[in-house]
Amino acid sequence: MLTYTLRKNDKKPLYEQLYTAIKADILNGQLKPGEKLPSKRSLKDHLGISIITIEAAYAQLADEGYIVSEPKIGYFVQNIAKPAERPDVKLPIIKEHEKAVQPEAPMVFADFTSNRADTELFPFSIWARLLRRIISENPDGLLEKSEGCGIYSLRAAIAGHLSGFRGMSVSPDNIIIGAGTEYLYGLLIQLLGHDRIYCVEDPGYSTIERIYTLNGASCVHAGMDEQGIIPSVLSEKKADIVHISPTHQFPTGITMPVARRYELLGWAKEAEGRYIIEDDYDSEFRLGGKVLPPLFGMDGGDRVIYMNTFTKTLCSTIRISYMILPDDLAERYHKELGFYSCTVPNFEQYTLAAFISEGYFEKHINRSRLKYLKKREALIQGVKSSPLSSLVEINENDSGLHFIIKIKTELGDDELCTALLEKGIRIDPVSKYCTNDKDRFLHSFIMSYSDISPELIPEIILKLNEFML
Amino acid sequence: MLTYTLRKNDKKPLYEQLYTAIKADILNGQLKPGEKLPSKRSLKDHLGISIITIEAAYAQLADEGYIVSEPKIGYFVQNIAKPAERPDVKLPIIKEHEKAVQPEAPMVFADFTSNRADTELFPFSIWARLLRRIISENPDGLLEKSEGCGIYSLRAAIAGHLSGFRGMSVSPDNIIIGAGTEYLYGLLIQLLGHDRIYCVEDPGYSTIERIYTLNGASCVHAGMDEQGIIPSVLSEKKADIVHISPTHQFPTGITMPVARRYELLGWAKEAEGRYIIEDDYDSEFRLGGKVLPPLFGMDGGDRVIYMNTFTKTLCSTIRISYMILPDDLAERYHKELGFYSCTVPNFEQYTLAAFISEGYFEKHINRSRLKYLKKREALIQGVKSSPLSSLVEINENDSGLHFIIKIKTELGDDELCTALLEKGIRIDPVSKYCTNDKDRFLHSFIMSYSDISPELIPEIILKLNEFML
């Protein structure tokens, strides 16, 4: 039987300790390909840990292709050198991200391409307490089917939050709750039409274009100047709907000035059926400078669709996003798409409603903002005060969870990223997000720092200096 | 301040008691239009109940249009006779289902059009206990982003369940978890293509057609004979994909015999890119007769997409469904759509995984089947042993949570349903679900009994007799 010493008070959770120990034994050959792992129940008794810990470790190992599950029989060690050929075991399909888990893959200790919320910030104990309270106080509410657009108290709590936080006057009836922004994009296309032309920012977050295309809509690009997306291109490309992030554009970091906002609203009003989708995804993390009000509301409320998510502010596994529709679209939504069941479970809806209305969300945002600000400053100061500073230019903006650095280098963008990856630092060039005009953004890199551990920053700066100088 | 006596041990939950009391006061004029309701906090102290109870009651009243929320100010009594004209309050959009909440609307005590799971059956305390355990034992697992297709341990648990329950041999890697079947249909269209022709059963569950159409796909209909959908029509209508429920078709109740299944598989194999979507939505509730294995697996595994949901077996607010893709589609899914985040929160995924793998799901299914069987027999026996029996013919089938009754009547189908609604019984005719050939199913009605209270069955039989004789 596998025997490992696992420490309850270790920084690493038990399941990760178990995962690491078993993985090491597979890699060093202690566990041979084809060997059966102990059953969860026997390992539980043997090591004195819970089934769920073992399940999590086995699941992670299986996810990464180290072991394979044979239903009702058990888990077997995979031949990681070449795919096993045991005919009785159905091999998992090797997915793109699993291919990276070859022993020779570099170990990444700083991932500047992840825009995940810092999980350490998530107020888990408060969330768990609210969830427990809701389970015991309102069991009926949890089982009753909610409205398709989400439970009223959550929509009311969001309206209240937006009123205080963004100065927005929104009726809960115009809010549609859904399991993530990706899902809401799909609903929007159903509402606005597959035959319309959707325009996205170039450079921009490529997943948005991918979703429009996968949903059968035509997607065109409009370039950016220093104020954001260029309105004249919208008419040229016959766009009907434009999808923007005026508070903090990804990847350029541009905050769209008021004049450009009015230009865009002017474009929208010029013809029937034109809409602006305002993706306000990290407006909560404005870290300095003046806050501009959202486009939603600037137009009298009929041409802007506002979207935001709790995935970035709370935790990426709590998949709750929302959109706010102008009155006419809201009415049409309830009539034509109102039959769709809400994709967020009642448990999470009630918990989030309580979390917001009892003031925890605001506290959490403030605490997070402070922590992100510190992280950002440590990074920027680290670069500026090191020899590296002569080679880089930092475009700070005042907003959001990423900034741009421009590096003086002879290397191509991909070359530089590959070489940095060897040092354990994963970073993306802005040019990766460009459809046209890649050259304009050459040697600019995106520093998404939300998921970086602050204690690693000195090492990151050291490695960057070693590498560049 | 509002003063009501609420009873903790009453059958009705506190929030419903409070809701009923306030609603009564609005209807009888004790509470006047425009009047402000007490703040939740003050009412909490006054009545000695929790904020969440008050929130639930206020939310329900607001949902139904009795009160309206003015963010940051409070709740106000609506003028339910005519919409309020207070210019400072933004009125909620009146939705279709809210229009029904006029005082003169008939009170429905038996709704045979609801296919909701019986919420009394849901093992709430076990679910809550598992959820609590998972919160305390695996907090890290809850915050780590899961794979887009769902966490491994849930997919493995589903594979195990299907192996035992349906004799299916499925790899967890072919399973995709999503927040409800409606959501999965959308993903499937993205995977199979918007330019394909999707064929649905006629009569059939109209929402499926609606979703295909809303997603921009062409949808055609194929009629049914006594064995199910007619294969020759598929070729005639140039269908690429056919969506069926061979275990228990809605609404006809037909179970497709083996010969017809092979005919359909033959159709699928005739040309590249043809697929059968097998919606096995209530296979767990086969209440007698022999169980046929699913189409998935009969074909060697390359032309059938299997779908099922926990919404019907557990609870409509736990929105977890899954689909099982043939290998080639699974591979393409992971490559092209694998970037989508899973729409089900980790909390629910881990809880369901434990619920299945620790044997609670199987117990729950068995208990539910017994209770549904009793309900069904009480209904059928009630009809058969009453004078009504001479006027009706019951098509029992052996399966699922609805059956069909054919009524000898001079009334038109809509006329009969409207008249029954006046007596508090809501029922749908089969003809409502027909696109063509409505006459063939004239005077046939769908008895979906899952959400009917057993203690009301005698009254239902009485009312039906009074009405028909």
Q: What pLDDT is attached to residue A413?
A: 94
| E strand residue ranges, B3-73 | 67-70
Percent of chain B whose pLDDT exceeds 90: 56
Q: Which helix (H) or strand (E) holds B406?
A: strand B402-407
With tokens 């069909």, the residue in question is: B404
CA dist., res. A278 & res. A256, Å (int):
12
| Mean pLDDT computed over B63-92 | 61
- On whether the CB atoms of residues B464 and B426 are closer than 8 A, the answer is no
- Identity of the residue in B133, B152, B159 whose CB atom sits nearest the CB atom of A71: B159
- Give start-end residues of each CATH 1.10.10.10 domain in chain B: 14-77
Residue A45 vs residue B325, higher pLDDT = B325
Q: In degrees rounded to 5, what are phi and psi of residue A445?
A: -130, 150
Q: Which residue of B has its CA nearest to A216?
A: B194
Q: Which residues of chain B does A156 touch, with a Cβ-Cβ cutoff of 8 Å?
A: 59, 62, 69, 71
Q: A345, B343: Cβ pair inside 8 Å?
A: no
Please report which confidence band the pLDDT of residue A290 belongs to, taking 50, 70 and 90 as the band edges: low
Residue B89 has pLDDT above 70, yes or no: no
On the question of pLDDT at A169 being above 50, the answer is: yes
Looking at CATH, the fold of the domain delimited by B14-77 is given as Arc Repressor Mutant, subunit A (1.10.10)
**List of chain A residues whose C-beta atoms are within 8 Å of the C-beta of residue B96:** 334-335, 338
- Mean pLDDT over residues A201-229, rounded? 95
**Chain A hits for B16, Cβ within 8 Å:** 140
Q: How large is the average pLDDT for residues B21-50?
A: 83
B292 has a pLDDT exceeding 90: no
**Closest approach of chain B CAs to the CA of A411, in angstroms?**
30
ipTM of model over 0.90: no
Q: Distance, in angstroms, between A174 CA and closest chain B CA?
A: 8
Q: Region A44-58: what's the mean pLDDT? A: 81
Lowest mean pLDDT among A247-256, A312-321, B246-255: A312-321
Nearest-CA residue of chain A relative to B349?
Answer: A317
Contact call for B316 and A153, based on CB within 8 A: no
pLDDT(B248) > 70: yes
Please state, rounded to an integer, the average pLDDT across all residues of chain B: 86
* Segment B194-234, tens digit of pLDDT: 999 999 999 999 899 999 999 999 999 999 999 999 999 99
Query: pLDDT higher for B20 or B349?
Result: B349
Q: With pLDDT > 70 as the criterion, what percentage of chain A qualifies?
A: 92
Average pLDDT of B71-88? 59
> Has residue B33 got a pLDDT over 60?
yes
- Domain boundaries A110-115+364-468, corresponding CATH code: 3.90.1150.10
Q: What is the mean pLDDT of residues B244-273?
A: 93
Interface probe, candidates B171, B205, B351, chain A, greatest A C-beta count within 10 A: B171
Residue-wise pLDDT for A3-41, tens only, equals 787 777 676 778 888 888 888 888 777 888 888 888 888
Per residue in B96-146, pLDDT (tens digit) is 344 344 444 568 889 999 878 887 888 888 998 998 898 888 777 788 888
Compute the nearest-CA separation of B383 from chain A (Å): 30
Instruction: Judge: A145–B52 Cβ closer than 8 Å, yes or no.
Output: no
Burial B251-274 (b: 16+ CB within 10 A, else e): bbbbbbeeebbebbbebbeeeeeb
Per-residue pLDDT, B290: 65
Question: Which of B183, B307, B164 minimizes the C-alpha distance to B245?
Answer: B307
Q: Give the chain B residue nearest A343 (alpha carbons).
A: B179
Within 8 A of A78 by CB-CB distance, chain B residues are none
Mean pLDDT of A393-420: 88
Question: What is the second-level CATH architecture of the domain B137-358?
Answer: 3-Layer(aba) Sandwich (3.40)
| Chain B contact set for A160 (CB, 8 A) | 71-72
Q: Which pLDDT band, with edges at 50, 70 and 90, does A294 fall under? A: very high
Could A173 and B337 be called an inter-chain contact, meaning their C-beta atoms sit closer than 8 Å?
no
- What is the mean predicted confidence (pLDDT) over B8-32? 80
Nearest-CA distance from A316 to chain B in Å? 6
pLDDT at position A104 over 80? no
Q: In which band, very low, low, confident or very high, does the pLDDT at B66 lie, cut at 50, 70 and 90?
A: confident
Which among B170, B214, B357 is the nearest to A190, CB-wise? B214
**How sure is the predictor about A106, in pLDDT bands with cuts at 50, 70 and 90?**
low
B52 and A146 in contact by Cβ < 8 A?
no
The pLDDT value given to residue A34: 82
The Cα A447–Cα A426 span in angstroms is 10
Cα distance between residue A347 and residue B381, in whole Å = 39
Q: B-chain residues within 8 Å CB-CB of A216? A: 194, 215-216
Mean pLDDT of chain A: 86
H/E run at residue A330: helix A327-332
User: Which range has the worst mean pLDDT, B53-67, B191-205, B239-253?
Assistant: B53-67
Beta-carbon separation of B171 and A96 below 8 A:
no
Record: contact B93-A174, CB cut-off 8 A: yes
Domain with CATH 3.40.640.10 in chain B: 137-358
Q: Is residue B378 classed as helix, strand or coil in its secondary structure?
A: helix
Q: Do A334 and B93 touch (CB under 8 A)?
A: yes
Q: How many CB atoms lie within 10 A of CB B336?
A: 13
**What is the mean predicted confidence (pLDDT) over A100-120?**
73
Average pLDDT over residues B330-353: 94
Q: How would residue A96 be classed by pLDDT, with cut points 50, 70 and 90?
A: very low
Q: How confident is the model at residue A74 (pLDDT cuts 50, 70, 90)?
A: confident
Q: Say yes or no for a CB contact (<8 Å) between B216 and A214.
A: no
Domain ranges in chain A with CATH number 3.90.1150.10? 110-115+364-468
A236: confidence class by pLDDT, cuts 50, 70, 90: very high
For residue A286, pLDDT beyond 70: yes
Average pLDDT over residues B455-467: 91
Nearest-neighbour CA in chain A from B262: distance (Å) = 26
Question: Which carries the bigger pLDDT value, residue A87 or residue B382?
Answer: B382
Separation in Å, CA of B75 to nearest CA in chain A: 11
Distance separating alpha carbons of residues B405 and B441, to the nearest angstrom: 11
Q: 0.90 exceeded by the pTM?
A: no
Least confident interval from A108-117, A433-442, B46-55, B356-365: B46-55
Residues 6+ apart with CB under 8 A from A279: A181, A208, A243, A244, A245, A307, A308
- Phi, psi torsion values for A122, nearest 5 degrees: -65, 125
Measured at the alpha carbon of residue B141, what is the angle toward residues B137 and B143, in degrees to the nearest 5?
A: 115
Judged against a pLDDT cut of 70, whether residue B169 lies above it is answered with yes
Nearest CA-CA distance, residue B137 and chain A, Å: 7
